[in-house]
Amino acid sequence: MDRRTFLRTAGLVGIAGASGCSLPFDSSPIPNGSDGNGSGGTPELTPTPEPPDTRSGAALTGVYAGGDELVANLDSYSSWLGQKPAVALVFVDAFGSTSAKQGFIDGALTNVWKAGHVPLISWQPFEPQKNQTSETIEREIANGEYDDQIDEWASLLDSWAHPRGDNTRGRRFYFRPAHEMNGNWFPWSALDATRVEATAVPETDDGDGEDPTAGIPDDYVGMWRQLHKRFAETELDESNIQWIWSPNADEIGGIRAERYYPGDDYVDWVGLDGFNFGGSQQYSTGQSNWRSPAELFDPMLNRMRELTDKPVALTEFASSSIPSSGNGHDPQQKAQWIDDAFSYVSENDIKMTCWFNVDKTGQDETDWAVFGGSRGTDQASVGGEQYSSYQNYKQALSADKYLAALPDYPPLLTDDEFAGKF
């Protein structure tokens, strides 16, 4: 199973059942009829404390810790680091039953928050049977055909973010719809999704000369703006939701990422996904395929800086430990890549880093993890268990300039930190 197939199948089912511990701030809803003052066994509402000063620094820390055993993975990863990453990436497939949506809200989303991390929702507009997702799904969303589904998501996320209405500060999340649109592996791209098995293709051309097998960048923009419009009808504001538009660092096909940009009024962050495959794949042979962080990210980052001044995140990034084809694993070279990556983050005003901490095998897979994977430069003991790890990754994040979650402040980040304004 390739990395992107894994992400598509680790949505609702893979993460809805995770559980976690609670923060001092109990943000569960007040039962009907309660006055919120301790009667009937309901805890007294505790006002959110005054926010601390916004910290200065380079970037928020973040991680994708996997779908299965999500919160347990986050807990061991956080214990190893000695801090809670500010952001935890989760994936969800968008279209399905109300119970599936509610399962994600009550499961993964709530438990990630209670574990002490701001969720980053990678919202994938797939049908429940992914191979039945239309190649023109972005056009159909833009035309309002999925408004009922979108309104349900908006309402559920609004209720989650405001579990006690205006009585106390609510929860917050990053929202990353329809990511990596400038590739050919998702049906919301303007290219045929050649790596999505049996994706549904429209039967006929609509007569205007456009290719009926895929949408166009304008459809994607229309989809994004339709989502934004429907969410704007709720009480969600910039302190609850930050919108992340997330192209891939490597572009496939002749359609430039800039053509998919919805506009500054609809985007809060730009997120880049990029992976150093080295020699791990059949197509990545030779030393020249080992790419430094600058070689991997500079071309797209420079274009994004010209496009907008929105803060930039590395929403998914990692490196293999295989320098070149046939030469085996070299964890020391991966360790050097990690050091170079965090130097690159500091030097290029990157405001968030989410490491893809899952080892996988097969096409587009390799040993991505820095903790708990198949190899590392060191061994770490957490909870009586031994884990392979990269100690220099932990050392990099221990610097004050990398901002973890605020353990004693219930909203976890200040408003400015949440918005990348530091």
Domain residue extents for the chain = 52-419
Please give the structure tokens belonging to residue 92.
């969800």
Tokens 């119970």 -> residue = 99
Q: What is the 3-state secondary structure (H, E, C) of 7-33?
A: HHHCCHHHHCCCCCCCCCCCCCCCCCC
pLDDT at 170: 80
pLDDT at 288: 54
CB environment 386-410: b (16+ within 10 A), e (fewer): ebbbbbbbbebbeeeebbbbbeebb
CA distance to 71, 76, 99, 182, 406, per residue, from 20 (Å): 6, 12, 21, 35, 17
The H helix count followed by the E strand count for the chain is 12, 12
What is the pLDDT tens value at each position of the chain, 422 positions in all?
Answer: 343 433 334 443 333 333 333 333 444 433 334 333 333 444 455 677 889 999 999 999 999 999 889 999 999 999 999 999 999 999 999 999 999 999 999 999 999 999 999 999 999 999 999 999 999 999 999 999 999 999 999 999 999 999 887 666 789 999 999 999 999 999 999 998 887 877 888 765 555 555 667 899 999 999 999 999 999 999 999 999 999 999 999 999 889 999 999 999 999 999 999 999 887 776 655 445 899 999 999 999 999 999 999 999 999 999 999 887 667 889 999 999 999 999 999 999 999 999 999 998 766 778 999 999 999 999 999 999 999 999 999 999 999 999 999 999 999 999 999 999 99
Dist. CA 156–CA 420, nearest whole Å: 25
Tokens 């899952």 -> residue = 358
pLDDT at 206: 55
pLDDT at 205: 54
Of 326, 393, 406, 410, which is closest to residue 353 (Cα–Cα)? 393
Query: The domain at 52-419 falls in which architecture?
Result: Alpha-Beta Barrel (3.20)
